[in-house]
Structure 1
Amino acid sequence: MSIKVTALSKYYQNQKAIDIISFTIKKGEIVGFLGPNGAGKSTTIKIITGYIKPSEGSAYVNKIPVSSNPIKAQQKIGYLPEHNPLYKEMYVREYLQFQAALYQVEKAKVNQVIEQVGLAIEAHKKIEQLSKGYRQRVGLAAAILHDPDVLILDEPTTGLDPNQLVEIRQLIKQLGKNKTVLLSTHIMQEVEAMCDRVIILNQGKIVLDKPINQLKQHNEQILKVTFDYKIEEQFLQQLPNIVELKNTIENNWVLTFNTVDDMRPIIFDFAQENGLKILGLNTENKNLENLFRELTN
């Protein structure tokens, strides 16, 4: 396993930031790491990258124990922090050559990563002259310069315009083909578009760890229906496959069914048989954002 976290806990005085969490990530996997503010994501990332030590438990990168051998573990990690600290007064190529010297990487590698992340047309500029999207590319270039096995990216697409977002997304997916990627973000659509798996933290505990394709293969169907006048709950309970119903406001209902079949024709037939008119009918898929809200509220 490229990343292994075992029974990890971290205390800050009397506050427990993470509470006995365990997970593994294998090579070639892109994993979305989600959670509300204060859930413990940043603390976990800091432990995996060797910036802080856990109170209990262990973290391993390529089987290297991070706490006892942080420098060797860090050599296997490429890290793009949330605020992407860069020397903005330096030129792009100059900055990457400086990073290459720190990593003791040949200068020829600089040209290679410049091409790889699409920085060639901006390489002659100062970093302070670049757009947010190109600054993110510089951060990614620095993170992959030493060809790490593991990439840890903290909010890599925040603040990007739609075109930049698509380009960075494609780049991360390309990098994820032969590296392990742990992606921390608040943008659910990015996780659904890029990731193979999602881990959700809440109050320091893992509340979900599942492949994305399993989350998409659920049978739950939610319909929001507005009838022309008030109807009793007992009548709606006669609908086939219904598992939950909620009267929100007056004649508005949220109906949850456990089936892959489209229940809209059944609702129309039910209304006609009972002399009702349907004034509104909308489908609400339980996507990752809905699931996130349920698990973290």
Structure 2
Amino acid sequence: MNILLELKHVYYRFAKRGEWLFKDINLCVAPGTRTAILGTSGAGTTALFELVIGLRKASQGEVKRHGKIGLVTQNFSWYQDLTVAENIEFCRVINDGNPRQVEQLLSLTTLKNWENTRAQQLPAGFRRMLQVVCALVREPDLLVLDDPTAGLDQVLQKKLNILLEQVNAAGTAILIFTSDQRMIADCQQVFYLNQQCLLNDTKAEESEDKKEAWL
């Protein structure tokens, strides 16, 4: 499998005759790579995330997905009344995940201390970490995250970065939509979202004025 995600000349607008939100978006994510799409608040990163995962349909162009995809959204998407352990076990069973991996993920995210806590009682940062674990127990080929550091303190941010590094080193491709510049440090590909388009970091270096506008 050479490509996990491909966007080819994608255009998108909310209304049939409305203004374009995205124009001529091109993106390619290969196995084992780490890619970031960086945009300031209001730039449309969440809308592009939703288009990538299929919650929105492109007005023009192609979006192709291959392999298993794990998702981490901004809103908690699992069962509030279940405990941490129950949520993870549910995700593991329906995806035929490895029980050993669950223990490793719990330790890496410090959720081990919250196993018997209901999801609705977790602090916001730990709910986000629970989403990451639930996405990873299905052993995805590609992990896609929308603003993953939102609600995380510095300790959890560091643990998340370590976890993503290990997951990526083990072969899982990672695609991050973020406004946090710290998340782009270890990425092979970085794109800046602004004025309806994606600009690759190599092109951004040619125009410091434009780059400053995105950052």
Shared fold (TM-score greater than 0.5)? Answer: yes
What residue in structure 1 maps to residue 30 of structure 2?
A: 26
Structure number with bigger Rg: 1
Give the secondary structure class of the aligned counterpart of 2:28.
Answer: strand
Give the secondary structure class of the aligned counterpart of 1:16.
Answer: coil
* TM-score normalised according to structure 1 size: 0.62
Distance in 2 between residues matched to 1:199 and 1:188, nearest whole Å: 11
C-alpha contact 2:73 2:145 (8 A) present in aligned 1: yes
Unaligned runs of 5+ in 2: none
What residue in structure 1 maps to residue 142 of structure 2?
A: 150
Unaligned runs of 5+ in 1: 63-72, 219-285
What residue in structure 2 maps to residue 160 of structure 1?
A: 152
- How far 1:182 moved relative to its partner? 0.7
- How far 1:155 moved relative to its partner? 1.0
What residue in structure 2 maps to residue 135 of structure 1?
A: 127
Distance in 2 between residues matched to 1:106 and 1:147, nearest whole Å: 7
1:136-161 deviations in Å (ceiling 9; x for gaps): 22111111121110010111111222
What residue in structure 2 maps to residue 191 of structure 1?
A: 184
| Pairing partner for 2:40 from 36, 45, 51 | 36
Give the secondary structure class of the aligned counterpart of 2:91.
Answer: helix
Letter in 2 for 1:6: K
1:89-119 deviations in Å (ceiling 9; x for gaps): 3211111222334x34257364454345442
CA RMSD of aligned residues (A): 2.7
Higher strand share: 1
* TM-score normalised according to structure 2 size: 0.83
- How far 1:79 moved relative to its partner? 0.5
Give the secondary structure class of the aligned counterpart of 1:15.
Answer: coil
Pair 1:104–1:2, CA change in 2 (3 A): closer
Q: Is 2:51 the counterpart of 1:51?
A: no
Equivalent residues in 2 for 1:282-297, closer than 5 Å: 292-294=211-213, 296=214
C-alpha contact 1:93 1:110 (8 A) present in aligned 2: no
Letter in 1 for 2:75: H
Letter in 2 for 1:83: N
Q: Is 2:181 the counterpart of 1:181?
A: no
- How far 1:4 moved relative to its partner? 1.2
C-alpha contact 2:95 2:137 (8 A) present in aligned 1: no
Aligned pair count reads 208
